[in-house]
Amino acid sequence: MNHLITLPIMLPLLLATLQLLPVIEKSIERQRLISVLGSLSIVIASVALLISASAGNVTLYALGNWEAPFGIQLVGDRLSSMMVVLTSILLLAANLYASAGDDNQGRYFYPLMMFQAMGINGAFLTGDIFNLFVFFEILLIASYSLLIHGGGKHKTSAAVHYVFLNLVGSAIFLFALGIIYGTLGTLNMADMALRVRELNESEVQLAKIGGMMLLSVFALKAALLPLQFWLPRTYASAPGPVVALFAIMTKVGIYSIIRIQSLIFGDSAGALTDLGQDWIWVLALGTLIIATLGVISAPSVKRLAAHLVILSVGTLLVAVGFGTAESLSAALFYAVHSTLAGAAFFLIGDIIAEQRERSFDRIVAGRSLAQPMSIGILFFVAALTLIGMPPLSGFIGKFLIMKSIDSGSALVWAWPLLLIGSLAALVAFSRAGSTLFWRSNGKPDSSKASATRKFIAVGILLSAAPLMSLFAGPITQYTDATVEQLQSFELNPRQIMAKGVQQ
Amino acid sequence: MELLISLIIGLLTAVGVFLVLRGRTFPIVLGLTVLSYAVNLFIFSAGRLVMDGAAVLNSGLATPDPVPQALVLTAIVIGFAMTAFAVILAIRARADLGNDHVDGRLPEQSGEQK
């Protein structure tokens, strides 16, 4: 059996426990070294998985050698390995950024980051829906602690909402799993896809309820319209490096929606085909509208970044809700772009907040930044790509999504909203940029300059913007092949059921 | 049996939802606890209820489905940890914000005393 697939989960777990040892826990320098090198090793492991997946291999791993559907299995296909690589790059950048000083405001910063990465990677790799719940809880409990890391009034009050909301979400998740297990008699996603085709009339109703409850939980994680109100405040109050890693959290929800929709409620699901698809479409359009309003009205850079995350969720789910192969492929491209660019912009907001004295990252005239030139360049690049201007990745992502939505009535709804969203982002960025960089007083105070590694961390994330447009060809080929693979899983779910080792 | 269990689950859920919708942290924590009881019973009954079943396989008697029992154990452990975290967070919020309202400030026109 190929054990490579366990590394993105096991490495963070081992690194986290390693850093709890007194020898390392006592010295912040050792922790920094281990976590940056450790996240580098996670990047290498996940890239190795990606290389194996991009050749078309699907890595199946039966944990404890219990064959599916009885045991829990890990599935390393194109989609999950792509998301795992994305997570580990974010983790590396976030840890590098934090090692410049943000890690010192409370204890156990790096172990928590590692546990969070473990939960996220696990959620992407698992092929068992109850195991998905368990990994959700791991990433959530780590995120609860990271959110209030360092303490402070704002963090606590934002965390109260976030924690209670997610605890209710977990309860609904469990109710949904109970219903699904009661009707389908299995928790393995591939097996669920097979069982869903053989349901009788009365069971279909129950399965429908279970499926819709499951979707609403994922919508809460993804921050879809009526369930997105927690996001701006939570993300704006969290520490910078933490929120950079949080940028992938909404994508965990979207990933789960894509996984469930394409595999279990796909074209062969009989009465349950495309369950909730029309809801996703309508709510995603609504999300676009409310995020557009949020982007225009954002009072601070981090709030702006948070509303841009919601905007990207809306854009992504519009493509997912449209539901063609082209739109899904475009959504995957956009997911990679928006995660990296969003995380980079949060970090930029954090640097700005650090360098301005009392006005923090609020978009008001204030003391001039210590390094206006370098921050300005980063801000400009992030703005270009997040608005969706050529030649950076945001443009290509948005263009692909709009191109894939080509039929009459859908086009009339989606195109204007997507374009107005971009316009709103343009307005907000121009306002924020001109206020922050031009309407400032006082000379740059070089004693407040930020550490170089912070800029390197932002640079790593932002370099994706030009690179993704340079290599847009290979990347879209990859996402096209991903969608093709998802469709083939849907046709024959048995191919992602692990057999265990043949004796 | 089925009726009793479903009534209990329904009642617990109703109580849990009611408490979760309250404005202060303590009832919410209680509500989440009650809700998790309801969830646990619900998952437990997802494997269908078997009366006088055998705990051991191959004993000739009807055996209940063991999977939901394993799921419930996991859910209980996770729920326990999460409740503990929610309690600590509620206490921390009470200390940091000076009141136990979820929004961190008391509603203005509620007529309540500080």
Calculate how close chain B gets to A138, using CA atoms only, in Å: 9
Neighbours of A373 (CB within 10 A): 10
Distance of CA A458 to the CA centre of its chain: 17
pLDDT attached to residue B34: 94
Return the structure tokens found at A82. Answer: 């792509």
**Residue pair A349/A305 in contact by the 8 Å Cβ criterion:** yes
Report CB contact under 8 Å: A177, B71: yes
Are A32 and A464 a contacting pair, CB within 8 Å?
no
With CB atoms and an 8 Å threshold, state whether B97 touches A153: yes
What residues of B are in contact with residue A187 (Cβ under 8 Å)?
67, 71
Q: How many CA atoms lie within 13 A of B45 on its CB side?
A: 16
Q: Taking CA atoms, what residue in B is nearest to A186?
A: B67
Mutate to test the interface with A, among B71, B91, B105 (most CBs of A within 10 A): B71
Inter-chain residue contact B39 with A156, CB threshold 8 Å: no
- Least CB-CB distance to B28: which of A145, A164, A170? A164
Q: Exposed e or buried b for every residue in A54-70, given b needs 16+ CB within 10 A?
A: beeebbbbbeeeeebbe
Q: Spell out which residues of chain B touch residue A147, defining contact as CB-CB under 8 Å.
A: none
Annotated domain spans of chain A: 276-492
Q: What's chain A's length in residues?
A: 503
Q: What is the pLDDT of residue B114?
A: 42
Q: A383 to each of A21, A339, A423, B1, how far by Cα in Å?
A: 42, 14, 12, 62
Map out the domains of chain B as residue ranges: 2-97
Q: Which residues 6+ apart lie within 8 Å of B74 measured at CB?
A: A130, A134
Q: What is the pLDDT of residues A136-163, one digit of tens each?
A: 999 999 999 999 888 788 888 889 999 9
Angle between helical axes of A109-125 and A28-54 (0-180°, round to 10): 10
Q: First-to-last CA distance in chain A?
A: 12
Chain B residues with beta carbon closer than 8 angstroms to that of A178: 39, 42-43, 45-46, 68
**Could you tell me what percentage of chain B is helix, strand and coil, using 3-state DSSP and rounding each to the nearest 5?**
65, 0, 35
CB A405 within 8 A of CB A411: yes
Chain B interface test: which of A155, A165, A174 (most B C-beta within 10 Å): A174
- DSSP 8-state symbol, A260: I
Percentage above 70 pLDDT, chain A: 99
The encoded tokens of residue B105 equal 């400030």
Does residue B110 have a pLDDT over 80?
no
Residues of chain B contacting A, Cβ within 8 Å: 16, 20, 25, 28, 32, 35-36, 38-39, 42-43, 45-48, 67-68, 71, 74-75, 78-79, 81-82, 85-86, 89-90, 92-93, 96-97, 102-104
Q: What is the pTM of this model?
A: 0.93
Contacts of A163 in chain B (CB under 8 A): 85-86, 89
CATH class, B2-97 region: mainly alpha
pLDDT in tens, B55-98: 777 777 777 888 888 899 999 999 999 999 999 999 988 888 88
3-state secondary structure A261-306: HHHHCCCCCHHHCCCCHHHHHHHHHHHHHHHHHHHHHCCEHHHHHH
Judged by CB atoms closer than 8 Å, whether chains meet at B71 and A130 is answered as: yes
- Contact between chains at B102 and A156 (C-beta distance less than 8 A): no
Does the N-terminal peptide bond of residue A8 adopt cis geometry, omega within 30 degrees of 0? Answer: no
Quick one: pLDDT band at residue B46, thresholds 50, 70, 90? confident
Cross-chain residue pair A164–B42, CB shorter than 8 Å: no
Q: 3-state SS of B76-113?
A: HHHHHHHHHHHHHHHHHHHHHHCCCECCCCCCCCCCCC
Q: In the block, which residue shows the tokens 């996770």?
A: B78
Cα-Cα-Cα-Cα dihedral sign, residues A59, A63, A66, A72: negative
* Tens-digit pLDDT string for chain A (503 aa): 588 999 999 999 999 999 999 888 888 888 899 999 999 999 999 999 999 999 888 888 888 888 878 889 999 999 999 999 999 999 999 999 999 888 888 888 999 999 999 999 999 999 999 999 999 999 999 999 999 888 788 888 889 999 999 999 999 999 999 999 999 888 999 999 989 888 888 888 989 999 999 999 999 999 998 888 999 989 988 888 999 999 999 999 999 999 999 899 888 877 888 888 889 999 999 999 999 999 999 999 999 999 999 999 999 999 999 888 999 999 999 999 999 999 999 999 999 888 887 777 888 887 788 888 889 999 999 999 999 888 899 999 999 999 998 887 888 888 999 999 999 999 999 999 998 888 877 777 777 788 888 999 999 999 998 999 999 999 999 999 999 999 999 888 888 887 766 54
Question: Do A72 and A126 contact (CB within 8 A), yes or no?
Answer: yes
What was the pLDDT predicted at A57?
A: 86
A347 and A240 in contact (C-beta within 8 Å)? yes
Q: Which residue's entry shows tokens 């590396």? A: A92
pLDDT value of position B109: 61
pLDDT at B96: 87
Contacts of A159 in chain B (CB under 8 A): 89, 93
Note the ipTM here: 0.91
Instruction: Considering only the beta carbons, identify the residue of A153, A156, A171 that sits closest to B39.
Output: A171
List beta partners, residue A75. Answer: A60
Residue A1 confidence (pLDDT): 57
Residue B19 pLDDT grade (very low, low, confident, very high; cuts 50, 70, 90)? very high
Per DSSP, A264 falls in state I
Using H for helix, E for strand and C for coil, what is the string for A140-208? Answer: HHHHHHHHCCCCCHHHHHHHHHHHHHHHHHHHHHHHHHHHHHHHHCCCEHHHHHHHHHHCCHHHHHHHH
**Hey, which residues does A300 pair with through a beta bridge?**
A362
Cβ–Cβ gap A137/B82 under 8 Å:
yes
Q: What are the distances in angstroms from CA B33 to CA A137, A237, A270, A503, B86?
A: 16, 27, 38, 46, 10
Q: What gap in Å lies between CA A388 and CA A430, rounded to an integer? A: 14
Give the closest of B16, B74, B104 to A134, CB-based: B74
Contact A123, A139 (CB under 8 A): yes
